[in-house]
Structure 1
Amino acid sequence: MNHRSSLAGMLFAAGVTLVATTGAPAAAHPFGPPTLARVAVDGARVDISWQPAEDDWVALGQSLGAFEDPTTGPVATQLTGEQKLQGSTAVRDYLRERITVSQDGQPCRGELQPLDALLAQGARLTFDCPAPVSTLDITVTALTDLNPAYRTVLRAESATPAESLYTATDGTHQVDFSRSGGGPAPAAGLAVGITAAGGLGALLLVLSRRRTRSTR
């Protein structure tokens, strides 16, 4: 059994145990490390991956009815917990509703990618915005409806701020992608500086040689 299959089995077992013994989605990790999300832009396209821990997937799946309740009926064992999450319409709708992007007050059209690698890659969403991206309002409110102690850290490539903390009371942040810390403009400026420095060094070398010859 590979690592991913093992995690899927653990997720299923944890889901059944959680439903049977606690009945509370918040029994996962609301007070643990924050969930990580990553965002990257390319023109008018925005890609976001949201990566909660396995037990937080269990809590979410239980709250949305993705897992059967063994106290009220049989539990299907031919599917892993990961597969039940992947096949849940409620889970997919939840992710679309609680991870959104808007540009200048207009929502960007979002598409949830297949949840084939849910444990390894998290939930992946792609957004098409009306215009090339400069500034975006990104909303992440997943899990905070289960327990307000949940938090998500959003990391943005070449953006300001580079990290944003999402909480139950602060679920939307504006992220500016127009100023990259290492984009083409600074690199071009550095190249010009190097060229100028090289030219100055060559000029000083010529002057030095001329001065030496004149004193001989």
Structure 2
Amino acid sequence: DIDGLGKKVVDQLVNEGLIKSFADIFLLEKDTLADLDRMAQKSAANLVASVEKSKKVSLRRFLYALGIDHTGENAAKLISEKFSTLKDIMETSEDVLQQINGIGPETAQSVSDFFSNRENMAIIKDVINCGVEISNDQPVIAESNNNPFNNKRVVLTGTLQTMPRSKAKKQLEKLGAAISSSISSKTHFLIAGQKPGSKFVKAQKFGIEIMDETRLTALFNQYL
């Protein structure tokens, strides 16, 4: 996912012997690229700039970019929500991966097999040595058998006094909650601040559990 690095350019770089592995992309230099057919100085400079920009990548995008069998964008997102770093993923077992909600046995085995392969690990090491920085932009879901929000649909309404609503949403996501903007029969919890409005009435109608800010804060302190 690098601007200017389409299939034709990649084929040209491979044919010229400039890239032999994934890591070689991050070692490309402007002067070398400018000598290629149909690659002017400006195009070469733009491509090098795009490569440099791509060195800062999220964990989920890096995991997806590895091209692991049965591991699409959604699977990469689900896995990155459970692990803080790439190292954590590489060291985990197939059984642990399969316990992630939404990750099936084929994906778990493919990920485990990929990171058990020495050649794959060598490529990843080379990429990191080229200056690629991998950070996790996903909220890592906290593990707890008694966490009441895990895999639950939550709606927030009203004004919270102790934290911005955006922070409350992030904390809930860390606990595995799915945040929704509207009340329905599928909603599990309504977090009600001051002046909750019509959502409060609708939640009562559906028999949805309503939680005030005091209890929400106590649960955050308990599980996070």
Instruction: Normalising by structure 2, report the TM-score.
Output: 0.28
Instruction: Normalising by structure 1, report the TM-score.
Output: 0.28
Structure number with higher strand proportion: 1
Structure number with higher helix proportion: 2
Q: Which has the larger radius of gyration?
A: 1
**Which has the higher relative contact order, 1 or 2, with Cα contacts under 8 A spaced 6 or more apart?**
1
